A and B are shown apart, each in its own frame.
Chain A
Amino acid sequence: VTVLEPPITSVAEPFWAATRRGELVLQWCTSCERPIWYPREVCPACFGSTLEWRAASGAGVVHAVSVHHLPGPGRSADDVPYAVALIDLAEGVRVMSNIVNTAPDGVTVGDAVQVTWLPLSDGRNLPQFEPAA
Chain B
Amino acid sequence: LGDRTLRGKAALVGVADLVSPTGELALHGRALEAAVIGAALDDAGLTIDDVDGIAAGGMPTGTAEYFAIQPRYVDGTMVGGSSYELHVEHAAAAIAAGLCDVVVGVYAATPRSDRNRRNGGGYRPMPGPNPAMEWELPYGLRMPMAAYALAASRHMYEYGTTSEQLAQIAVDTRRWAALNPNARYRDPITIDDVLASPMQTSPLHLLDCCLVTDGAGAFVMASAERARDLPKAPAYVLGAATCGTHSMITEMHDLTTTGGSVSGPAAFGMAGIKPSDVDLLMGYDSFTITALLHLEDLGFCPKGDGGAFVEDGKLGPGGSLAMNTNGGGLSYTHPGQYGMFLLVEAVRQLRGECGERQLTDPKIAVAHGSGGVLSTMGTVVLGTEETL
Measured CB to CB, the residues of A under 8 A from B are 3-9, 12, 37-38, 63-75, 79, 82, 84-86, 94-98, 105, 108-110, 126
Contact = CB atoms under 8 A, between A and B. Distances in A.
Contact of A64 (B131, B136, B150): B150
Interface string B138-154: 11111100100111011
Interface in B100-123: none
A7 B149 CA distance: 25
Contacts of B200: 69-70
Contacts of B140: 3-4, 68, 71-75, 79, 82, 84, 98
Contact of B133 (A6, A65, A75, A84): A6
Contacts of A7: 130, 133-134
A72 B137 contact: yes
29 contacts: A3-B140, A4-B133, A5-B138, A6-B133, A6-B137, A7-B130, A9-B134, A12-B134, A38-B131, A38-B134, A38-B251, A64-B150, A65-B202, A66-B149, A67-B201, A67-B202, A68-B146, A68-B201, A69-B199, A69-B202, A70-B142, A70-B201, A74-B138, A84-B201, A86-B150, A96-B249, A97-B139, A98-B140, A105-B202
A72 B199 CA distance: 14
B133 A66 contact: no
A8 B133 CA distance: 10
Nearest to A69: B199
Contacts of A38: 131, 134-135, 250-251
Given A69-B201, A82-B140, 10 more contacts: A9-B134, A63-B154, A63-B255, A64-B150, A66-B149, A66-B204, A69-B202, A72-B143, A73-B137, A96-B139
A9 B142 CA distance: 22
Contact of A66 (B131, B137, B146): B146
Interface of B: 125, 130-131, 133-143, 146, 149-151, 153-154, 157, 198-204, 249-251, 255
B134 A6 contact: yes
B250 A65 contact: no
Contacts of A79: 140
A73 B201 contact: no
Contacts of B149: 66
Contacts of B203: 66
A4 B137 contact: yes
Contacts of A85: 150
Nearest to A79: B140
Nearest to A86: B150
A86 B154 CA distance: 10
Among A73, A82, A97, A110, which residue has the most Cβ atoms of chain B within 10 A? Answer: A73
A100 to B, nearest CB: 10
Nearest to B150: A64
A86 B148 CA distance: 12
A68 B138 contact: no
B128 to A, nearest CB: 9
A84 B135 CA distance: 12
Nearest to A40: B131
A63 B134 CA distance: 20
B157 A64 contact: yes
Given A38-B131, A97-B139, A109 B154 contact: yes
Given A71-B142, A75-B140, A96 B130 contact: no
A34 to B, nearest CB: 14
B141 A72 contact: yes
Contacts of A68: 140, 142, 146, 201-202
Given A66-B149, A69-B201, A70-B201, A94 B250 contact: yes
Among A69, A82, A94, which residue has the most Cβ atoms of chain B within 10 A? Answer: A69
B157 A109 contact: yes
A50 to B, nearest CB: 21
A8 B203 CA distance: 32
Contact of B250 (A4, A72, A96): A96
A12 B140 CA distance: 20
Contacts of A82: 140
B196 to A, nearest CB: 14
A97 B201 CA distance: 15
